[in-house]
Amino acid sequence: MSIKFIRIDDRLIHGQVVTAWIKNYQAKKILIIDDQVAADSFLINVLKMVAPSGIELRIEGTDNLTQLIAEYEADDKNTVLLMKTPQTAQKVFDSGAMLRALNVGGMGASKTRKNLYKNVSASDDEVAVLKAMEDAGIRVYFQATPNDKQIDLKNLK
């Protein structure tokens, strides 16, 4: 199993990901799954510029996700998988990701979102998707950096 860490973070590649999570999982690859990002050549170029040196970056949409997940699971290089939304995370797990844990990082506030935990805001639909994944046996937890305590979704009140 090469996908070592699956995280929702609407900032995708930023300081915590680069300095903490990639090192923690000794990742050699970052896989970003997001339909809008995959269609935005400007944003793709920005992400390539901020990706750490020596780390392979691949940005894909959700088309052919089952084949993509299988390819990365069979690879021998550790991969960090990033996406922006719970809905995309659900598609990743439905497509055969073997790791049954989802780290929920930054999800910014908006008119349709309310604060869920620290810097994580979610709409009612997003919370429902997270709870459905949890009910399906996926551990959904909040943890900003590897040194922070993990808080499971089921323990939030």
pLDDT tens digits, 47-65: 999 999 999 999 999 999 9
Nearest Cα neighbor of 30 from 67, 61, 57 is: 57
Q: What's the CA gap between 147 and 121, in Å, rounded?
A: 21
**Domains and their CATH numbers in the chain:** 3-149 (3.40.35.10)
pTM of the model: 0.95
* Orientation angle between helical segments 65-74 and 86-94, nearest 10 degrees: 70
Query: What backbone phi and psi angles, to 5 degrees, belong to 9?
Result: -160, 110
Amino acid at 37: V
Residue 12: alpha-carbon gap to chain centroid? 8
pLDDT band at 128 (very low <50, low <70, confident <90, very high): very high
CA neighbours within 13 Å on the CB side: how many for 44? 15
Q: For the residues 39-44, what does the mean pLDDT come to?
A: 97
Q: What's the CA gap between 144 and 119, in Å, rounded?
A: 9
Q: What's the CA gap between 22 and 9, in Å, rounded?
A: 14
DSSP state of 155: G
Average model confidence (pLDDT) across the chain = 94
Residues in CB range of 135: below 8 A, 6 or more apart: none
